[in-house]
Structure 1
Amino acid sequence: MKTAVITDSASYLDPVVAAQYNITVLPITIIFGIQEYHDGVDITSQEFLKKLAETDKLPTTAQVTMAQMQEAFDTLADKGYDEAICVNLSSGITTFYENLVAYSRQVTNIKVYPFDSKIASAGEADLCLLAGKMAENGENADVIIPKLEQLRDSIHVSLVVDSLDHLRRTGRISNTSAFFGNMLKIKPILTFDDAGKIVPEAKERTMKQALQHIINSIDQTTFDSPMRISVVDANNPDLSKAWVTAFHEHFPKASVSTYQISPAIAVHTGEKAMGVVWDLDWNQI
């Protein structure tokens, strides 16, 4: 049994790492007016944020199509793969998972296993890397999926944004006025709930206080196995480095990694957003 792993570009996996684990990454489409870009293919995170700052046209996204999925299935089947685990962006912020579940019933040349990450970015990437590692070791979906569920259940995330405007405009967060009140000089902290929806978590007045809030949250989390902390930023490299240093100091036994927020996610968060994901270390499961 030969098992493939497919994901979308919201995971923002490094192409070298994706290739190392034979993970197929399909691009989400970024739309600026009449111009379309393929996330991670013909537009990078830095290029996207530069374009966002220079235009009055607010971008939108279009999810991976079933035609793209079928093309990937055909390619993998031709390479001798028997099954494909599809780890995708949270069903709480896109209908892709539901669409794939329905479409997969029509696929005949490879067995499709849709897997709802209920998360995005580094959390989604960790799930992909676990699946890729296990598939490379010869495991099949029956063994891999329970481990993915174990990892998914361990994932925690805090997302700090400069403004909620982008999330409100794109419909990725519900009305939060009652929670955040007057947004003046407030750093909203968001998270993903159990259904994979983006919801308010807390509010702080500075990024320093937001970091301390996240450190306190991680302190309250207990894992039976080694922990991984991922720091994710949208064009905020200096703050990312400072946060990485803080996490190394506070959690010396944890593995700490960094990611950039993909254009497909930055559409909703805006520039300067900071995210932290902490979970079981996928490389130790």
Structure 2
Amino acid sequence: MKTAVLTDSASSFTPAEAEAMNVIMLPITVIFGDQEYLENVTITAPEFYRRLHDEEQLPTTAQITMHQMQEAFDQLSTAGYDEVICINLSSGITTFYENLCAYAPTVTNIKVYPFDTKIASAGEADLVRYAAYLVEQGEHAAEILPKLADLRQTIGLDFIVDNLSHLLRTGRISNTSALIGNLLQVKPMLTFDEAGKIIVDGKERTMRRAFAHALKDFDQAQAAADYPLQITVIDGNVPETAAEWVTQLQERDSQLTIIQSHLGPTLGVHTGEGVMGLLWSRDWRRELKEK
């Protein structure tokens, strides 16, 4: 039995990183006007944010098609794989997972296992890393999927956008009725709910206060957990702020595993530039080392 892991470019891996893990990564399409680009293939994050800043027409995205998925399945089957675990964007912000679940039973040359991350970006990425590690250890989908679900349960996220205009424009935010006052004048605190939808979870006047809010949420999660947590600092083309957050986290706890992740074009279409986030989850690598 040979098992593959497949993800999409919203996981923020570079093609080289995915290849190093033996993970198949399919690029999501980013569209500026009548020009289409493949995320991290024909458009990089720096190029995307430059165009987002300079161009009047705002970009959109197009999800990976089932035709593209079938091409990947065919290649995996030819390479001798028997099954593939597909770890993609949350079903709460795209219909891709639903489409794949409907399509999977029609695939005859490889067994397809869709997994709903109910998250995006660094959260999706860590689920992919964990699956790739388990495959490397000789495990298969039947063993891996429950472990992915367990890890997913430990993920928490607070992210902060400059304003909600991009999320409102692309329809990726769910509880707009919860907005009180003019949130466009503050720093909206967002998270993913249990269904994997983006919701407003609060608001702060400044990024400094938003960071303190996120730290409080992390501290509460850490106090409640009977396992070690790792934390990821996510930024949307604001490396200086990310560096400040990392430094403050290191000063708070020198033993904490701190990872940095950058928001790529696909998610940048929906959040705009300047987003910052803290994502935490069970530190499975540390657990393995301490065994």
> TM-score with structure 1 length normalisation?
0.97
Specify which of 213, 232, 235 is matched with residue 233 of structure 1: 235
Cα gap change, 1:40 to 1:2, in 2 (>3 Å): same
- Uncovered stretches (5+) of structure 1, i.e. residues with no partner: none
CA distance in 1, matches of 2:253, 2:217: 12
One of 251, 260, 272 as aligned partner of 2:253: 251
Match of 2:278 among 270, 276, 279: 276
Question: Of the two structures, which has the highest relative contact order with CA contacts closer than 8 Å and spacing of 6 or more?
Answer: 1
- Does residue 224 in structure 1 map to residue 226 in structure 2? yes
Equivalent residues in 2 for 1:1-285, closer than 5 Å: 1-174=1-174, 176=176, 178-183=178-183, 185-221=185-221, 222-283=224-285, 284=287
Any conservation in 1 of the 2:232–2:279 contact (CA below 8 Å)? Answer: yes
Moved more, 16-25 or 169-178: 169-178
Per-residue CA deviation, residues 59-97 of structure 1 (Å, 9 max, x unaligned), is 110001111111111111111111000001000000000
- Rounded Cα–Cα distance in structure 1 between residues aligned with 2:124 and 2:253: 22
Distance in structure 2 (CA, Å) of the matches to 1:179 and 1:28:
30
| Aligned counterparts of 1:167 and 1:180: Cα–Cα separation in 2 | 16
Aligned length: 285
Residue type of the partner of 2:275? A
Over 6 Å off, 4+ runs: none
Superposition deviation, residue 177 in structure 1: 5.8
Q: Which amino acid aligns with 1:157?
A: L
Cα distance in 2, alignment partners of residues 282 and 7 from structure 1: 20
Query: Shift of the alpha carbon at 1:175?
Result: 5.4
> How far apart, CA to CA, are the structure 1 residues paired with 2:185 and 2:155?
29
One-letter amino acid of the counterpart of residue 172, structure 2: R
Distance apart, 1:224 and its partner CA:
2.3
2:140 and 2:155 mapped to 1: Cα distance?
23
Partner-residue secondary structure (3-state), 2:92: coil
Q: Which amino acid aligns with 2:244?
A: A
Q: Which amino acid aligns with 1:240?
A: A
Alpha-carbon distance between aligned partners in 2 of 1:205 and 1:81, rounded to the nearest angstrom:
51
Structure 1 counterpart of 2:248, which letter? A
**Please, what TM-score do these two structures have when normalized by structure 2?**
0.95
Paired-residue identity, % = 55
**Relative to structure 2, which stretch is displaced further, 225-234 or 187-196?**
225-234
Aligned-CA RMSD value:
1.3
TM-aligned CA deviation for residue 253 of structure 1: 2.7
Change (3 A) 1:255 1:14: farther
Q: What is the CA-CA distance between 1:19 and the residue it aligns to?
A: 1.7
Contact 1:168 1:175 in 2 (8 A): no
Q: Which ranges in structure 2 are unaligned for 5 or more consecutive residues?
A: none
